[in-house]
Amino acid sequence: MIDLKVELPRLLPKAVEWAERQQADILATGIPLSPEQMVVARGVGVAQPNNIRIKLVDRLPLPEDPDLAAAALQTGLLGTNMTGLTLFYGIFICKHVYGNRNLIAHECKHVQQYEKRKSIAAFLQEYLSQIVTFGYSNALLEQDARMAAAIYT
């Protein structure tokens, strides 16, 4: 088990670098939002919904770095139960849940949170600190995304 409070300063630059690479891939190969999804994105406050791309996957990717992968699994950010992951304008969504409006709203709210912070590095600094301090379910940015998505259930 990794002591995430101690290791976060060392892991954060690796997480940012991984997230930036993943976002670049999603933006290059992903699909734009459908008209209905654009309405949802605007509804949760996304300023630039035309920039969003979705990459459909069988399962969310894990970082290649073993420590980063272990931390992602330990915190619950990635793993078998997770079906979406937002990396600024790039969103991974598992194929079997693609039509879920609640999930789209949740992930689009994370896009809006990234827009407000203006970078992957700034968002991840705040988001991962909250997860390490309060746990995934109690992180304020995660609660905000769940509340924004609740109107689409």
* Average pLDDT of span 32-56: 97
For residue 153, pLDDT beyond 80: no
Domain ranges of the chain: 4-150
Strand ranges for the chain from DSSP E: 31-32, 53-57, 84-87, 90-94
Q: What is the pLDDT of residues 79-130, one digit of tens each?
A: 778 899 999 999 999 999 988 899 999 999 999 999 999 999 999 999 999 9
* Alpha-carbon span 153 to 145, nearest angstrom: 13
